Structure 1
């Protein structure tokens, strides 16, 4: 009986990038806001609701469908994501053509949003299983694709709107996304049971550190470590999204930038968001996941406190861009961290449940920023409040580190007692 040929794990990673770079085009939404609002003859804020619904559905569908994704496997869930996201974009073109705002919300926000959520978690748990030795690097590559997608599809979108019109641009993009996701999903699959990369098999010398536990999603929900990481992600996302959404007016206020100059810097935010995903997640393979998050929060306490007080342009931008790398880095380091904490048994489901923090933080972060800024009129006060939130995140991350150390110690004691 012939043993099926083992797939190339780096091509599996490339397939994961293919899925994430397609669904990550949602981050280029601002490019379509003006052309679409002119067709519907409404304010930009009305059109932005489709994006808000999509991100909300991303978080909710990832949380609710994570178990299903784990059950059916990446090929089926990836195919489903490709069909849903493709239909969402194609349907948006139809909604624009017949000028139905309700249909636009339905296709882009609801159907596209569910495709986003399924597509986001589909490749991640698979990659963690293929790369037990380089979890951070592998998940960082895929999620970097999500962060960089706007740089690729943003200009392409703008050009298509100009050349073929808005509705036709949606049709073309919908077909491109669907083909890219469906093609990538055909190659991606789980590794065989007990898979270890070359050099790590018994007798070959290299050893992979055992996960802290290997438990189900229901069991993870009973663990304090699940709630620690949920709080850590919620604060990192809420504060990061707030600073991203306010970056342009903040630079105009603090550095006296013109709107055009500020807009150019906002473009660089996308670059550092993407770079942070691969750099920090790769570093976490060496620094340790818990230590990486402790670095994130310790730095951002100081960054958010001092940022409004910095008048030197170069230092202001260095601090701002570093914060953005940590925002992106949190997303990319998360799946590897969850694998370390809870194993790979139901990693997709657990990852989905933690991503509910994204749905909530995406609404709460910018809202808190706007409310405090409006009531106090002070950027300093607003960012000091976020610095305070990072103090909470730092304390929780240290508690996580202590919890992991204690758990590992107990494990060693139990093994010694058995021996």
Structure 2
């Protein structure tokens, strides 16, 4: 089959795989029942906040295997990397069902599952983007949207499983199902040839302008000052999204007074806007540019955090609007960044380059939930955490202008050097 047609099958398989690994965003649904389960076993009173360390570490270790898996992917193809990553991911979920302590849960969910997530996520997205140089932003949005869509689908399913069979059985059932889906789907994945160009496609002037003068490897990327602006922008933008995603259900219950069932709906709404933002922003960024899209999402995040700040038991509507804007902003950021990285440093080494860039996401995944947990422990409310996240959002907005200046300065230097050489 011609690769131009076959790439769509590869994209669909990648989306199914990402749908499975995106279930980490449904963590807040598991947190409360797992805390209650472990409290009964250990005799200690554990809260969802005490278990948030598992989610934090899960996000933090992902770049390790994104980078190493990306290196293997660039040399041997993504199929084997995704297969091994799928075994780690499903195995981590299954192992979580045997947890009898916070430490074991951190090992199973935080480390094993987290390492598997990084291996799979980096390969599916980078490989798909290489197959679609004509729709880089949209495909980056679609593949990351599948990742986010999981938290729309999984929370109600997990809630039913937890209610009927208990939280450990829910981990076991979901783990086995996802292990099988990822492993089967991995056989439909192929490596994109280095010289691949879709049949009948000619790059437009705008696409040629976005293309880098040369493909940079990780050393070349780290030598560029623009990389540091981009990773700071990623940290600033992801901070609020990961902070709220990690404890969306507890926030809804403690701050607004929603029931556990209603709080599960909040998790799904957050995930729905997260998913929609990835596709919408990916498409829009192909039209107006990645950095302009990121500037808009930064302001949207700040607006959402202001609404959350003023939310309470008498402001349920404000809370829903705020959480929806956070989801939309966070999804937009994650949908744009894979293509943004490829635009700046080239698609050839994007598996490794995006893995390194993803360290920014991991840092946000560590500090965001940690600050949220510490603020609530100290203040008994979440308001100060929303203020901190809003400052990060404003920082991200400022960084979009720093990026434009840095790119203009870099292009001017390159052109001057070129004139001297000639």
Calculate the TM-score normalised by the size of structure 1: 0.84
The residue number in structure 1 matching 2:72 is 68
Residues 304 and 387, structure 1, Cα contact 8 Å, conserved in 2: yes
The residue number in structure 1 matching 2:266 is 265
The residue number in structure 1 matching 2:397 is 394
> Compared with structure 1, are the counterparts of its residues 193 and 166 closer, same or farther at alpha carbon in structure 2 (3 Å cutoff)?
same
Instruction: Map 1:80-91 to 2 at 5 A.
Output: 80-91=84-95
**Residue 359 (structure 1) aligned with residue 362 (structure 2):** yes
Superposed displacement of residue 292, structure 1 = 0.8
Q: Deviations over 1:89-139 (max 9, x none)?
A: 23334x25xx46654433332222111110110111111111111111111
The residue number in structure 1 matching 2:243 is 242
User: What is the alpha-carbon distance in structure 1 between the residues aligned to residue 130 and residue 149 of structure 2?
Assistant: 24
Mark the runs of 5 or more structure 2 residues left unpaired by the alignment. none
Residues 52 and 246, structure 2, Cα contact 8 Å, conserved in 1: no
Residues 308 and 318, structure 2, Cα contact 8 Å, conserved in 1: no
Q: Deviations over 1:169-200 (max 9, x none)?
A: 44433332122112221111223332222332
> Compared with structure 1, are the counterparts of its residues 234 and 122 closer, same or farther at alpha carbon in structure 2 (3 Å cutoff)?
same
The residue number in structure 2 matching 1:233 is 234
Superposed displacement of residue 251, structure 1 = 6.4
Instruction: Map 1:92-131 to 2 at 5 A.
Output: 92-93=96-97, 95-96=98-99, 99=100, 102-131=103-132
**Partner SS, residue 318 of structure 1:** helix
Superposed displacement of residue 325, structure 1 = 0.6
> Compared with structure 1, are the counterparts of its residues 259 and 90 closer, same or farther at alpha carbon in structure 2 (3 Å cutoff)?
closer
User: What is the alpha-carbon distance in structure 2 between the residues aligned to residue 306 and residue 103 of structure 1?
Assistant: 37
Instruction: Map 1:271-286 to 2 at 5 A.
Output: 271-286=272-287
**Partner SS, residue 187 of structure 1:** coil
Superposed displacement of residue 153, structure 1 = 2.5
Please, which moves more after superposition, 390-399 or 139-148? 390-399
Q: Deviations over 1:32-83 (max 9, x none)?
A: 3344445442424454443333222224332454323333321111111112
Mark the runs of 5 or more structure 1 residues left unpaired by the alignment. none
The residue number in structure 1 matching 2:19 is 21
User: What is the alpha-carbon distance in structure 2 between the residues aligned to residue 312 and residue 229 of structure 1?
Assistant: 36
The residue number in structure 1 matching 2:371 is 368
Superposed displacement of residue 264, structure 1 = 3.8
Please, which moves more after superposition, 267-276 or 100-109? 100-109
> Compared with structure 1, are the counterparts of its residues 317 and 218 closer, same or farther at alpha carbon in structure 2 (3 Å cutoff)?
same
User: What is the alpha-carbon distance in structure 1 between the residues aligned to residue 134 and residue 183 of structure 2?
Assistant: 28
**Residue 79 (structure 1) aligned with residue 80 (structure 2):** no
The residue number in structure 1 matching 2:58 is 54
Please, which moves more after superposition, 337-346 or 187-196? 187-196
Instruction: Map 1:130-209 to 2 at 5 A.
Output: 130-163=131-164, 167-201=168-202, 208-209=207-208
**Partner SS, residue 8 of structure 1:** helix
Residues 60 and 359, structure 1, Cα contact 8 Å, conserved in 2: no
Residues 239 and 364, structure 2, Cα contact 8 Å, conserved in 1: yes
User: What is the alpha-carbon distance in structure 1 between the residues aligned to residue 324 and residue 276 of structure 2?
Assistant: 10
Instruction: Map 1:321-340 to 2 at 5 A.
Output: 321-340=324-343
| Aligned CA-pair RMSD | 3.3
> Compared with structure 1, are the counterparts of its residues 151 and 135 closer, same or farther at alpha carbon in structure 2 (3 Å cutoff)?
same
User: What is the alpha-carbon distance in structure 2 between the residues aligned to residue 103 and residue 252 of structure 1?
Assistant: 27
Please, which moves more after superposition, 100-109 or 171-180? 100-109
Superposed displacement of residue 344, structure 1 = 1.4
Superposed displacement of residue 277, structure 1 = 1.3
User: What is the alpha-carbon distance in structure 2 between the residues aligned to residue 229 and residue 79 of structure 1?
Assistant: 31
User: What is the alpha-carbon distance in structure 2 between the residues aligned to residue 295 and residue 166 of structure 1?
Assistant: 39
The residue number in structure 2 matching 1:211 is 211
Superposed displacement of residue 13, structure 1 = 1.1
> Compared with structure 1, are the counterparts of its residues 49 and 305 closer, same or farther at alpha carbon in structure 2 (3 Å cutoff)?
closer
**Residue 350 (structure 1) aligned with residue 353 (structure 2):** yes
User: What is the alpha-carbon distance in structure 2 between the residues aligned to residue 54 and residue 108 of structure 1?
Assistant: 7
**Partner SS, residue 133 of structure 1:** coil
